[in-house]
Structure 1
Amino acid sequence: MHSVLSGIHLVTFDLDGTLIDSVPDLAVAVDRALDDQGLSPRGESRVHDWVGNGSRKLLERALRDALGEAPSVALHDAAHEAFLHYYAQAPNVRTRLHPGVREALDALRERGMALALVTNKPHAFIAPILDGFGLFDHFGLCLGGDSLPQGKPDPAPLLYAAAHFGVAPRESLMVGDSRHDIEAGRRAGFRTLAVPYGYNHGEPVASSCPDAMVESLAELV
């Protein structure tokens, strides 16, 4: 077992970029929503750097890039609603698990570790995606970006998860791929672990100084 897990009883995971590569499906829905507004597609490479702050922020970034300026509230609302519609139709067609994820989650569950999912993705998409990989039942709690008034990097979702399981923050670990995950974990008093392969707005997550890093989550176990 990796040393970062010493004394840890709760492990909370980010979703997009940490457990799954979801950009291919997200980019399709973003581009279809832009097309509805007569705007040109942005493509996977751009969407890759816009993921991590929830769906509304994702669409705001896509619209700003397509328009060259901030979108109006009406345009933003319309494009976001279209995105949610298109993404709900196919949230798990091109999405893939990152290597080592299944092995890590299986092993942690077998050892009796409490597991939670804390993502800024809308809650409605969590179960369809995890069910598609047979992983929904691994988690005792799943929080989306709309589950609480605050999302990451605010520590509120992590503190909620710790309270839900009755585990002290100092006995909890936040696992993520972005500075928002590391900041949320640090502010909540969690230990932090980062993976370098995800989405962090084009920046190395190591610059956020997590407590530990692994190339694959399989290294945890």
Structure 2
Amino acid sequence: MIRAILFDLDGTLIDSTELILVSFNYVMKEYLQKEVPEEEIRNLFGIPLRKQMALFGTEGRADELVERYREHNLQNHEKYLKPIKGAKETLAALKEKGYLLGIVTSKKEDAARLGMQICQIESFFDVFVFSDDVTIHKPEPEPILHALRQLKVSPKEAVYVGDSTYDIISGKKARVETVGVGYTPVSREALKATNPDHWIEEITEILEIY
């Protein structure tokens, strides 16, 4: 029996696509004098930020680029961030059904909490796992397993909902049920190729499964 439903944050519950694209392009242009196509940036969604920056800058500049990105990103949260349609109502309904809810994200705690507060969803969750909380990140299973240990829930009693290939791969490695979201900002084909256990086109459809 499913007892806990864990969610990725950006792209799953919060629409941060424009914010990410704007912040990424700001760093590329200002500090590396590079133009990166939007599709190429979208393909990086779900990958830890430092790893993204190391792909475009030298390894030695990755930490600097991350800091510049985060500064710009935090300053522009309220301007560009918005909740996924139906997310707040869906979370409320899942809580009403008695599920434990959690966030497992590759974002740092300050940015993730700010986004949840802007979208008014933070209060629904029983556990949070941010990038600061683990040393091994998605697509490895550790972030999800860390959340389950805190909830005292076994993998067979849990679900992970996400919008990126890293999310679904992480969930499968953790041996939880997985749900892919069709409104993903990344390639739908790539996400479907990871074979999530369930597929939804809108976040509200999860209520038809659980």
More helix by share: 2
Supply the distance in 2 between the matched residues of 1:202 and 1:75 (Cα, whole angstroms).
32
Supply the distance in 1 between the matched residues of 2:53 and 2:32 (Cα, whole angstroms).
15
2:63 equivalent in structure 1: 77
Q: Which runs of 5+ in 2 are unaligned?
A: none
Question: TM-score w.r.t. structure 2 length?
Answer: 0.90
Equivalent of 1:90, from 46, 60, 76?
A: 76
Larger mean Cα displacement after TM superposition, 82-91 or 40-49:
40-49
Equivalent of 2:43, from 19, 29, 49?
A: 49
1:123 equivalent in structure 2: 109
| 1:168-207 correspondence runs (5 A) | 168-200=154-186, 203-207=189-193
Report the 3-state secondary structure (helix = DSSP H, G, I; strand = E; otherwise coil) of the residue aligned with 2:106: coil
Residue 29 (str. 1) matches residue 15 (str. 2): no
1:164-210 CA deviation, whole Å, 9 max, x = no partner? 11111101001111221111111112111111221445743111111
Q: Is the 8 A contact 1:26 1:91 kept in 2?
A: no
Equivalent of 1:210, from 174, 196, 200?
A: 196
Q: Is the 8 A contact 1:186 1:192 kept in 2?
A: yes
Supply the distance in 1 between the matched residues of 2:45 and 2:78 (Cα, whole angstroms).
16
Across the aligned residues of Structure 1 and Structure 2, the Cα RMSD in angstroms comes to: 1.9
Supply the distance in 1 between the matched residues of 2:103 and 2:64 (Cα, whole angstroms).
29
Q: Is the 8 A contact 1:13 1:175 kept in 2?
A: yes
| 1:143-162 correspondence runs (5 A) | 143-162=129-148
CA-CA distance at 1:17 after TM superposition? 1.5
Alignment CA distance shift 1:102-1:44 (3 Å): farther
Percent identity between the aligned chains?
28
Supply the distance in 1 between the matched residues of 2:149 and 2:65 (Cα, whole angstroms).
36
CA-CA distance at 1:95 after TM superposition? 2.0
Supply the distance in 2 between the matched residues of 1:204 and 1:213 (Cα, whole angstroms).
13
Supply the distance in 1 between the matched residues of 2:54 and 2:172 (Cα, whole angstroms).
27
1:3 equivalent in structure 2: none
Supply the distance in 1 between the matched residues of 2:32 and 2:92 (Cα, whole angstroms).
45
Equivalent of 2:53, from 59, 67, 79?
A: 59
1:102 equivalent in structure 2: 88
Q: Is the 8 A contact 2:14 2:119 kept in 1?
A: no
CA-CA distance at 1:26 after TM superposition? 1.4
